[in-house]
A = this chain, B = another copy of it.
Amino acid sequence: MSRRGRGPEDQRAARRAAKLSGSQPPWQPFRVDLPPLALLDDEQLDRIDGAAFRILEEAGLEFLNDQALDILERHGADVDRSTRLVRFDRGLIREYVAKAPSSFTLHARNPERHVTIGGNWVNFSTVSGPPNVSDMDRGRRPGDYQSQVEIIKLHQCFNTLHLSGGTPVAAIDLPAESRHLDFYRAQCVFTDRPWQPSAIGRDRIEDGLAMVALSRGVSREQLLREPSAMTVINTNSPRRVDQELVAGMIHMVENGQVSIITPFTLCGAMSPVTVAGALAQQSAEAFGVIALTQMVRAGAPVVFGGFTSNVDMKSGAPAFGTPEYVRGVIVGGQIARRWKLPYRSSNVCSSNTVDAQAAFESMMSLWATILSHANIVYHGTGWLEGGLVASFEKSVLDAEMIGAMRAWLGPMDVSEDALAVEAIKAVPPGGHFFGADHTMARYETAFHTSILADLRPYQTWVEDGSPDAMTRANRVWKALLAAYEAPPTDPATVEAIDAYVARRKEEIARAPS
């Protein structure tokens, strides 16, 4: 992984990496010009909205955070202090959700990596949240700091990705109270894309905002005007909104930063067994929390997050990339667009290994999210085993699949030159185009170049040891990591970040536990 050696192995790896990096199209924003997929008509979507309103009006959401209760009450929600249940009139929901922007710019420390969150812009983020990490060399293991850094670096190598996400894997070898600082520093230094502080509590958010401002070299006042950090707020479905997450969210909102409100509505577990019911509940929970964000600060950037899937009714385990998941993604996108909210979805799978099931489930997710114009495709690369594992090999597979999707969705050349009538006339019947001038002038750039596919004849492949896609992905990530180069960083900025981290670690160490 490091670049210590200079032996023939390393040289081969370096050449491979140069080839792989060279074969990726350059980083660029991604706009999907196809119309978004739609499964339901307006009348059917009205019914889901109506059910969401009834849930909010008749059942309400439980808010564990006192400050949230105060804000909600002050703005006209029906707050029951004894049960902490908050009921929202549909008019109140409409009024406050309408204040959220339909689109905004998310700022990176590298201005060339700013992206638009909204419209038909689709942004891919890295895996976030798994407790475990896995690769073929070191096996499946609890996350640690080295793996966390390696995944951040690897994903920085993928030109297909726009966002560097939240903790790709927990660093359990670091002290729990301060490991978020090490993670933030890694994001500030090893990647130049927007990333995600941990929303568990106000202090962790404050650290994140301070370090984002340092890494961008902007004041907190400028940060307030320029969304530059995002965080995911999961509700504790059904209908419960966490104490610490909301504390973090309110601090994000007050500072003009992005909250991605994502109910976790697994059909048959935390929501009804029917997809329509889960979506109604998803809307109810998302609308309630989004309304709160707009009560805190009208116009604050928020994202409507969908995470509706189903459980395996035999085991109760979550199932991802299923037909139910695809429906949840598509209809969730329809709902977000009706409400003029940016939309977040995910690239998910259940598989325990990087096999055909993993690819199948992730392709179900990717086609659905991309063709639904999900503005953030969370867990874009590396998510395995229903989110319990961040996988190095799955990261390569996902980058490959995202790259292929982006390639076919790009503009298609139908110029006279591309239509090639003269070239066709010049090749005799039954002939071939291999050496034709038209081919020779274009063949090097004519096709999308895969970073993973093996197109060699069977015998050649067998002689190479019959490497399957997972084995080849293992070679690819090692080659990419070996050639990783950190994006340019001002040394003074790194110094300021390091000083912040050191000071905060001292404060945390001194704090009464």
Contact B316 A434 (CB under 8 A): yes
Mark contacts of A341-377 with chain B using CB atoms, 8 A cut-off: 1 yes-contact digit, 0 otherwise.
0000000001111111111110110010000000000
Number of copies: 2
User: Is A62 part of the contact surface with B, judged by Cβ < 8 Å?
Assistant: yes
Mark contacts of A457-498 with chain B using CB atoms, 8 A cut-off: 1 yes-contact digit, 0 otherwise.
110011000101110010000000000000000000000000
Point out the residues of chain B lying under 8 angstroms from A92, CB to CB: none
A327 to B414, CA, bound (A): 12
A85 to B430, CA, bound (A): 12
A455 to B320, CA, bound (A): 9
Interface window among A7-15, A199-207, A416-424: A416-424
| CB of A413, distance to nearest CB on chain B (Å) | 6
Contact A240 B430 (CB under 8 A): yes
Pick the contact of A313: B62, B272, B446 (CB < 8 A).
B446
Pick the contact of A461: B54, B352, B364 (CB < 8 A).
B352
A366 to B271, CA, bound (A): 31
| CB of A419, distance to nearest CB on chain B (Å) | 4
User: Is A4 part of the contact surface with B, judged by Cβ < 8 Å?
Assistant: no
Pick the contact of A327: B324, B331, B367, B412 (CB < 8 A).
B412
Pick the contact of A356: B397, B418, B424, B427 (CB < 8 A).
B397
Pick the contact of A44: B273, B360, B414, B423 (CB < 8 A).
B414
Contact B355 A433 (CB under 8 A): no
Mark contacts of A311-349 with chain B using CB atoms, 8 A cut-off: 1 yes-contact digit, 0 otherwise.
011111101001110110011000000000000000000
Since A239-B430, A355-B468 are in contact, a sample of 8 more A-B pairs with Cβ atoms closer than 8 Å, ordered by chain A residue number, is A44-B414, A272-B423, A322-B447, A323-B405, A351-B469, A357-B359, A359-B363, A360-B400
